[in-house]
Structures are given as C-alpha cells and as structure tokens.
C-alpha cells in the first residue's frame, strides 16, 4: 500500500531535499521504516534506539496528530498522507483577557488614530479600550519580534514590553525591519523602542535589555497579560512556555526556518502547551539556527504578523484563536495548512499529574550545557590553521556545511560531508591525522565532533573557531562572510 510522507525543511537534508516521498507500508511505523531504509541518515533523527518515535517529532495522518493515539501502530490506507512535524515549530470564540475594570475612556486623539478599528463591529470602542489597557511582552526584537512590536504598537496596545540582549548587526537588516542601518551596534531594545514610539508615541514601551533566564523569567513575564514568543532558540522557547503555564497566561508562538513557518497559541488553561506538542527538543545541531540555515527575508514578517493578529484577538475577544491549532506555512510553495493540537494528559507541566513545578535549567534540558565530565572540544583559530597548513602538516579538513552553503564558497582542500552524513561516513577519516571540522560560525562543527566522539571515533578532532567566517575575516579577505 502506497502512502506519501511529507518531509519538513529541517529534515530534507537527509532525504536529498525531497519534500514528499512515496513509500510502502501498512502502518505508520512501517512507512517511517521504509523511509529510513531509503535514506539511512534520517533514521537516528526519527527513532530512539528502542525503536520509539523521537520526542521532538510529531506525526500527523491526514491532518490529525496520531502520536498520542496509536502512534507508529496506526494503520494506513492506500493514498494516505503522513506529515512529519519536528520542532523548529481549537478555534473557539475567545473571551477577552482584559477585565472590564481596567478599561478607560478613549480620548479624542485615540478616536482619530484608531478610527478604522472603531468602525469594525468586532472591535469597536470596547475592543479598542481593551487594547489600550493591555500589557503585552514581546520576547526578541529580531525577525519575528519586529512585525510583532510594530503592529501591536500601531494597534494601540497600551504597554508593550521588549526583551532582548543583542545588538544590531548588518545581517539582521535583511528581515528585522524594526531596525535600520543607522542603528548598527546599538542595543536592539533601544533601536526597537525608538521605532515603536515613532509609530505610536501614545503607548508605554518598557525595555528589558537582558537575557531571559530561569532566574528572571517569572518576574518579567508576570507583569504582562500575554507573551509573544519571537525567539530563535529552543532553551528560551521552553522557558517561555513553562513560565507562561506557571503564571497562567497565554504564549503566542511563532517559529521560522528557511521557507517554513509555524504559529499557534499555547494556553494551558484552555488547550495544549508547547511541551504537549514537543515533549523534548531535537538534539543539538540537528536544526540549524537562521544564522546557519538561512531564512527568506519576508517569512518572519508573515509569521510575526500572524502572531500579532493572535495577540490582538486575545485582547479584543470574540475571534477564533489558534488555541488547539498549529498553522503551518510554506513560503516557497505558498501553502497554508492547519493541524489539530491536543492537550497531552501526561504533559510534565500542564498535564493531569505535572512533575515540573518550577523553572529548570533550559540549556541543560536542551543538551546545550556541557556536562562537567565531558571532555571539552579542542579549538584551532583560523591563523593557527593557516600556519599548520603552510608548514605542510597532515590535516584532514572536514566541511560539515550543507551543499547550498558550500555553493557560496568551497573551503579549499576540505572534504564536504554535511552534518547529517558524518556518522555514516566516519570510516573515511584517518585517526592518525588531526581532523579540523568547519562550519559557518563554529557551532555545528562542535556538535559534529561530539557526535563522532560518542560514536567511538578516537582520532584527534579540532574545531575551527568561529568557522568559515573567521577564515574569511583573518586569512582570506576575498572570501565572503555570509
């Protein structure tokens, strides 16, 4: 029996970039096994060693999540479609989250500025008063946070909080439209604050120029009615989810990768939380960040605008929110699809018997905190590598970038082995010679070395510090930094 497996962007590097693969299988497990047999590199990313589906993978059959039902034992019919939905990333008429006692009258300037809202019966005077009384926190002022903050400010959200600890870089400007060229090297919160107040000087903007951590999250998030998640990493995403569940407030979720985006509203009081969808994060290095994997510039604008729309509906009330639904968008194919989210009764934080009652170490939870007993990864700088190559040392150069990255420029003398193929091709390395691993910024290469070490490779492995960008900056200025 033939079924179609839809492959998301994050896993396409293991399927020769195929978006859909036809396989034979009577059950979901058989179909995935057939996929893994055809593309061996994907197997460890789909299955645990005991054959169970990995916790960061959700499996949908014709739009319905089957993970917490029959899972891999789910029978299939001929022509069925299975959709893999890994972490990258309802519909009830909602009541407003803003209590009536918090509403204040609109002034003459409000009536003029928000006139297009006021003539919408779904918003009207009372809806605009609710927006004026609302307090919304936007975590991250990057690709997603930019449209979020701008549209929420324009809509008249009374108090807008902005959390970020980064500064504006030139590479941000391709998509982070809240910043401009003159803001380079400024704190993002300062740049975003100026732009937001330029759009609407009548709102209050509160900046939190700090990294969100387990130590400060409850204090910061607890000041707001809604949190809009504009982050780009898994530790902060799980931190936001858990803090919002503990505080009893909704988290408006968005995530992006290359050409694909996801959006939902996680509100444990009325539906699923992020942990219900993804009980555990993917292994470090599997899903590159936007800085490593790239992102279409307009994509965060689309997903961030959807998030802003969800925030406004939660405040105004009456709309059909994304609580209990996951919206998937593919900008390259220009398709939207929707999947049902079900609350997991065994969820460790919002389930029937929660085991998480306080915030934890999310770097450790996501596998990013190196254990004390784990040997550190040895590094080599670009200049040191150049010196060793010039003196004729026998060094294996291993470029773990994806083929489309290598197309930007090929690292001279390096063997191109994408991250997903490393373990399968480990026998191509000579343990007698030092091996230097190369990626764009020196992060995926660290994960590559650790994966090979765990797999039993005993040769000396070094990480090119700061990756190919460092080589371009300090050795060969003709090469691009991308």
**Phi, psi (degrees; rounded to nearest 5) at 187:** -60, 135
- Whether the domain at 2-86 and the domain at 378-474 fall into the same CATH topology: no
Q: Cα–Cα distances in Å, from 397 out to 110, 175, 380, 447, 474?
A: 62, 33, 12, 16, 18
Q: What are the tokens at 468?
A: 């190919």
* DSSP assignment of 221-233: HTT-SEEEE---S
What does the domain layout of the chain look like in residue ranges?
2-86, 134-365, 378-474
Query: For 319-338, how does the pLDDT look when each residue is reduced to its tens digit (9 = 90+)?
Result: 889 999 999 999 999 999 99
Give domain 134-365's CATH number out of 3.40.50.2000, 3.40.50.720, 2.60.300.12, 3.30.390.30: 3.40.50.720
The helix-helix angle for 145-155 and 188-199 (nearest 10°) equals: 30
The hierarchical CATH code for the domain 378-474 is 3.40.250.10
Query: For 27-46, how does the pLDDT look when each residue is reduced to its tens digit (9 = 90+)?
Result: 888 888 888 888 888 887 78
Residue 380: pLDDT above 90? yes
Give me the mean pLDDT over the 362-390 stretch.
80
Query: If you count DSSP H runs as helices and E runs as strands, how many of each does the chain have, helices first?
Result: 17, 18
Angle CA(291)–CA(335)–CA(250) in degrees, nearest 5? 65
Residue 432: helix, strand or coil by DSSP? coil
106 vs 447: CA distance, rounded Å: 55
pLDDT at 87: 64
pLDDT at 230: 92
Helix (H) or strand (E) holding 446: helix 444-454
Give domain 2-86's CATH number out of 3.10.20.30, 3.10.310.30, 3.40.50.80, 3.30.1330.40: 3.10.20.30
Query: For 156-165, how does the pLDDT look when each residue is reduced to its tens digit (9 = 90+)?
Result: 999 999 999 9
196 vs 342: CA distance, rounded Å: 36
Residue 232: pLDDT above 60? yes
Q: Is 347 labeled as catalytic in the residue annotation?
A: no
Q: Cα–Cα distances in Å, from 223 out to 22, 241, 244, 427, 476?
A: 50, 16, 11, 55, 49
pLDDT at 372: 42
Contact 243, 283 (CB under 8 A): no
Catalytic residue among 244, 273, 276, 290: 290
- Of the pLDDT bands very low, low, confident and very high (cuts 50, 70, 90), residue 257 is confident
The residue that leads in pLDDT, 214 or 92, is 214
pLDDT at 371: 47
Query: For 424-467, how does the pLDDT look when each residue is reduced to its tens digit (9 = 90+)?
Result: 898 899 999 999 999 988 888 998 998 898 888 999 999 999 99
What share of the chain in percent tops pLDDT 70? 94
pLDDT at 90: 35
End-to-end CA distance of the chain: 45
pLDDT at 370: 52
Q: Cα–Cα distances in Å, from 337 out to 3, 321, 428?
A: 19, 15, 42
Query: For 173-202, how does the pLDDT look when each residue is reduced to its tens digit (9 = 90+)?
Result: 889 999 999 999 999 999 999 999 999 999
Residue 220: pLDDT above 70? yes
pLDDT at 64: 76
Which residue matches tokens 């003398």?
413
Residue 293: pLDDT above 70? no
Q: Is 244 labeled as catalytic in the residue annotation?
A: no
Give me the mean pLDDT over the 222-233 stretch.
94
Residue 373: pLDDT above 80? no
pLDDT at 89: 37
- Of the pLDDT bands very low, low, confident and very high (cuts 50, 70, 90), residue 284 is low
Range scoring the smallest mean pLDDT among 41-55, 108-122, 127-141: 41-55
pLDDT at 289: 59
Query: For 469-479, how does the pLDDT look when each residue is reduced to its tens digit (9 = 90+)?
Result: 999 999 988 88
Query: For 83-126, how does the pLDDT look when each residue is reduced to its tens digit (9 = 90+)?
Result: 887 765 333 456 899 999 999 999 999 999 999 999 888 899 99
Q: Which residues does residue 266 pair with via DSSP β-bridges, in sequence order?
A: 251
Q: What are the tokens at 86?
A: 């890994």
């Amino acid at each position: 029996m033939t079924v179609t497996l839809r492959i998301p962007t994050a896993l396409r590097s293991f399927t020769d970039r195929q978006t859909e693969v036809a396989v034979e299988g009577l059950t979901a497990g058989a179909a995935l096994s057939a996929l893994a047999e055809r593309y061996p590199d994907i197997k460890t990313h789909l299955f645990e060693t005991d054959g169970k589906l990995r916790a960061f993978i959700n499996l949908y059959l014709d739009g319905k999540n089957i993970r917490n039902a029959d899972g891999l034992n789910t029978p299939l019919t001929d022509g069925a479609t299975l959709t893999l939905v890994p972490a990258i990333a309802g519909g009830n008429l909602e009541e407003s989250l803003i209590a009536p006692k918090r509403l204040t009258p609109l002034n003459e300037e409000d009536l003029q500025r928000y006139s297009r809202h006021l003539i919408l019966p779904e918003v009207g005077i009372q809806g605009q008063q609710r927006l004026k009384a609302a307090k919304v926190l936007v975590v991250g002022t990057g690709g997603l946070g930019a449209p979020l903050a701008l549209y929420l400010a324009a809509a008249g959200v009374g108090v807008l909080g902005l959390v970020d600890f980064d500064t504006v870089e030139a590479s941000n400007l391709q998509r982070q439209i809240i910043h401009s060229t003159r803001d380079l090297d400024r704190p993002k919160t300062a740049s975003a604050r100026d732009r937001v107040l330029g759009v609407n000087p009548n709102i209050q903007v509160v900046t939190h120029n700090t990294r969100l951590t387990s130590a400060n999250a409850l204090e910061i998030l607890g000041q707001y009615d809604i949190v809009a998640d504009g982050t780009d990493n898994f530790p902060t995403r799980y931190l936001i989810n858990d803090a919002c569940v503990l505080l009893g407030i909704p988290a408006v979720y968005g995530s992006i990768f290359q050409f694909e985006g996801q959006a939902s509203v996680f509100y444990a009081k009325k539906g699923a939380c992020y942990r219900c969808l993804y009980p555990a994060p993917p292994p470090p290095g599997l899903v590159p960040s936007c800085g490593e994997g790239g992102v279409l510039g307009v994509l965060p604008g689309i997903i961030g605008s959807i998030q802003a729309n969800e925030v406004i509906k939660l405040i105004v009330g009456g709309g059909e929110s994304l609580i209990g639904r996951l919206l998937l968008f593919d900008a390259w194919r220009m398709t939207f699809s929707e999947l049902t989210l079900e609350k997991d009764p065994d969820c460790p934080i919002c389930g029937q018997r929660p085991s998480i009652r306080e915030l934890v170490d999310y770097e450790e939870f996501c596998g990013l905190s190196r254990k004390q007993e784990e040997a550190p990864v040895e590094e080599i700088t670009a200049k040191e590598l150049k010196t060793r190559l010039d003196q004729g040392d026998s060094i294996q150069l291993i470029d773990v970038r994806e083929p489309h990255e290598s197309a930007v420029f090929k690292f001279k003398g390096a063997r191109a082995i994408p991250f997903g193929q490393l373990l399968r091709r480990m026998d191509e390395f000579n343990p007698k010679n030092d091996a230097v691993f190369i990626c764009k910024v020196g992060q995926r290469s660290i994960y590559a070395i650790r994966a090979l070490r765990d797999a039993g490779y005993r040769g000396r492995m070094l990480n090119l510090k700061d990756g190919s960008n460092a080589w371009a900056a300090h050795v060969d200025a003709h090469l691009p930094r991308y």
